[in-house]
Structure 1
């Protein structure tokens, strides 16, 4: 899948400022061992390579592997900019993803309406709808005795909740899911750009209508955002709406897939959850622990000026990747990080939703969707496993994920 993307950008010659001993071949789209355990595949590089290394893959970029450095990079937009967050970088003619590819202080003004629209009190009002949607899906699957968890549940729950939140037709979900998959995991830059164009074509009439006749839905809020006393332009509104759509559809589905994959293979952990589904504090802690072990999203940064960071010389324009998932797998930050312990002291250390100004504004809703899955699924289907003879399909990239997870019960 990812070899085609790499082939589009021939591996660069090692830059003069990169020491030979820090060169490691690491392709974010093709991590050895990821077909068994994505997070452990990443961790193998953390354990065997320099804390910060350079790879020639995907245009050439640095990788920071340790929690201390990942957090420092995420919290320092002055030196590590968000202006390009994908690997390889999208072509310069592509508009920035708003507000993700904006830096403070401009970023705050664009992020504010999204944050307010997803405050805990707003998500609390959605909880019944999230639970009802989960129950409806599970009740439909239960008599079958089997399903592909990703296609039949993990992708459906988030998109139904999201489409209701932005007041778009649920019937549009199949086409949007296909476009999102191509945009996030497309095999070539052409496929990715075509998917972005498809999303833009879909959103154009909706954004136009909500700017002319705003409602109280999330889409109306973001496409009419007030920035320094003026409504954002149409192009910015389109970019904002596209980013929110991608974030609302793919990342939660990926995390749900990882968690279901883990529970299908670990009956003792599954039973611990089943025994305490009504213990809210326990369940909240368990969710944080599952998130810590199963990070999904990645965002790269651009080095803004020549600088020395942890003994490594970085040049302006260098790309650097601080993988969110490696934060929670670092034994320097987390005791016995490979052990999933639902009683781990709170707060459970992880960076699944990022750190600092760009912490994911949808984190509250994501946690609520995970809780709905755990409670409603385990009440109805407490014992399940990976279908004998079938193999889950796992993928790495800017968003790691589970593409297929055949389960039986």
Structure 2
């Protein structure tokens, strides 16, 4: 390994991430080779530039999804279906999610999203403050998602810590235990939906047929677990990053307040905030020996191409750490690209839009509570664990 390509990079403990996670990643992007090796978390490559990350997101023949976590999970760990499948196998499992989350289906969910948002915000307004993550970010998307899969809303307090360990657990053992706990929880529900199918999303994914044959019970558990992990965390994290930014950038918040009914502007603002606040990381496995831009990859090498670094790359987005609602053509990969692009992106954008419109109509001025800095965490999915807000 050439010494010039070795960097001490631990994405679970990035210097400065307690203040701004994305800015912490950006510093490595500016200071390091475009592709470098770190001995941390089992040893893996890291790609830092949009051009290369986009190749790695789409080229499954050289960069496989078959192991997406770092450090690596135990060999006996069940595959996370469909995320740890490569095309064409991946497409058969993905189809039910795409159908359930296409624009027409999401439009039918919008009324419910709106009602949950309004009810939650109205309850918070007279309090003069809240812990945003617990009181809103982990209420809106999770209420909506648990309705989609028709699971008891009262189970969320049991499920959320499990999801937290899965997406931000720093070691393979923690993440493995969370997968097993989620699988144990789902046993009853998966059996029920396979024996007596309903019209919910959980029914659709646990009864997928491949070549005329229904997937096995074990595959159904794995598929359902992955969907739950995604539905319980991702949108909640993005809502929290949005709220933190608006609480600390008065001009941006007030500009959105003044233009809440300008749909074109609101769409651009949401996309710019998503670009600036990417979250997810999924690892790859190199499938064969080959050279890429002077880097000698070997079969079995692990690779991290962080989605968020696409949006932060100054080669495609000038002044990338600055949020600019007038930015034209902002490039990002917050929801991935290619065959594994996030099927929930349409619903996520809809929930973010409803949050901005309904929150800012009722709470146009708010800030981070003095003396209570946000608590943030990096990992396979970056997030905000605690965000104290206050308002008059």
Q: TM-score surpassing 0.5?
A: yes
Match of 1:361 among 325, 336, 343: 343
Match of 1:323 among 300, 306, 311: 306
Residue in structure 1 matched with residue 58 of structure 2 by the alignment: 75
Q: Distance in 2 between matches of 1:173 and 1:360?
A: 22
Alpha-carbon shift at residue 190 of structure 1 (Å): 3.0
Give matches, 1:128-277, under 5 Å: 128-277=111-260
Contact 1:133 1:157 in 2 (8 A): yes
Q: Distance in 1 between matches of 2:240 and 2:188?
A: 32
Give matches, 1:86-125, under 5 Å: 86-125=69-108
CA distance 1:187–1:88, change in 2 (3 Å): closer
Alpha-carbon shift at residue 335 of structure 1 (Å): 2.0
Say whether residues 1:393 and 2:345 are aligned partners.
Answer: no
Say whether residues 1:374 and 2:375 are aligned partners.
Answer: no
Residue in structure 2 matched with residue 402 of structure 1 by the alignment: 384
Q: Distance in 2 between matches of 1:390 and 1:71?
A: 37
Q: Distance in 2 between matches of 1:136 and 1:407?
A: 18
Q: Tell me, what secondary structure is at the counterpart of 2:385? A: strand
Contact 1:109 1:228 in 2 (8 A): no
* CA RMSD between the two structures: 0.9
1:305-362 CA distances to partner (integer Å, 9 max, x unpaired)?
00111110010000011100010111101122122111222x4310000110100001
Alpha-carbon shift at residue 389 of structure 1 (Å): 0.8
Contact 1:285 1:348 in 2 (8 A): no
User: With structure 1 as the length reference, what TM-score do the two structures score?
Assistant: 0.94
Alpha-carbon shift at residue 377 of structure 1 (Å): 0.5
Contact 1:207 1:238 in 2 (8 A): yes
Q: Tell me, what secondary structure is at the counterpart of 2:239? A: helix
Q: Distance in 2 between matches of 1:343 and 1:207?
A: 47
Say whether residues 1:312 and 2:295 are aligned partners.
Answer: yes
Q: Distance in 1 between matches of 2:230 and 2:41?
A: 23
Q: Tell me, what secondary structure is at the counterpart of 1:372? A: helix
Q: Distance in 2 between matches of 1:183 and 1:25?
A: 24
Contact 2:168 2:382 in 1 (8 A): no
1:93-125 CA distances to partner (integer Å, 9 max, x unpaired)?
110100000001111111111111110100000
Q: Distance in 1 between matches of 2:190 and 2:248?
A: 43
Match of 2:2 among 9, 19, 33: 19
Alpha-carbon shift at residue 193 of structure 1 (Å): 2.1
CA distance 1:406–1:343, change in 2 (3 Å): same
Gapped regions of structure 1 (runs ≥ 5) = 1-17
Alpha-carbon shift at residue 188 of structure 1 (Å): 4.0
Q: Tell me, what secondary structure is at the counterpart of 1:210? A: helix
Q: Tell me, what secondary structure is at the counterpart of 1:196? A: helix
Residue in structure 2 matched with residue 342 of structure 1 by the alignment: 325
User: With structure 2 as the length reference, what TM-score do the two structures score?
Assistant: 0.98
